[in-house]
Amino acid sequence: MEEYREKADREAIASARSQFPHLTTEMLVRNGRVWEDWQTKPTLDSFVEERRVEERQMWLHVTRKWTQDLKKGRVLVSEEDGLGLLG
């Protein structure tokens, strides 16, 4: 799992550098947003963390949808044959 996260981090860094070649490492932020002077300076770590959060949210959505689909499938099987739940 750790190797997967490191690979995803490397991909996020490469993506950031390709999307925003004119920005320095300290300036990289999601979607090229410009930070005001009063805000803390974004770093490459914060960019990678934002990507992790986005990926985590995507996987939560996928697993939630998958779980809902399975529940619907169990209900349909239960109603059709009356013998019990799927699985």
Mean pLDDT by 10 residues, the chain (87 residues): 79 77 57 53 75 88 86 64 51
| Within a domain: 87 | no
Total structural domains in the chain? 1
CA atoms within 13 A on the CB side of 29: 10
Q: 42 and 27 in contact (C-beta within 8 Å)?
A: yes
Tell me the CA distances in angstroms from 73 to 59, 62, 69, 85, one per residue in order. 21, 16, 6, 9
- The closest alpha carbon to 44, from 67, 16, 79, belongs to 16
Structure tokens belonging to residue 47? 């960019």
Q: Is residue 30 part of a domain?
A: yes
Structural domain includes residue 52: yes
pTM above the 0.85 mark?
A: no
Asked, for residue 23, whether it belongs to a domain, the answer is yes
In-domain check, residue 13: yes
Residue 39's domain comprises: 2-81
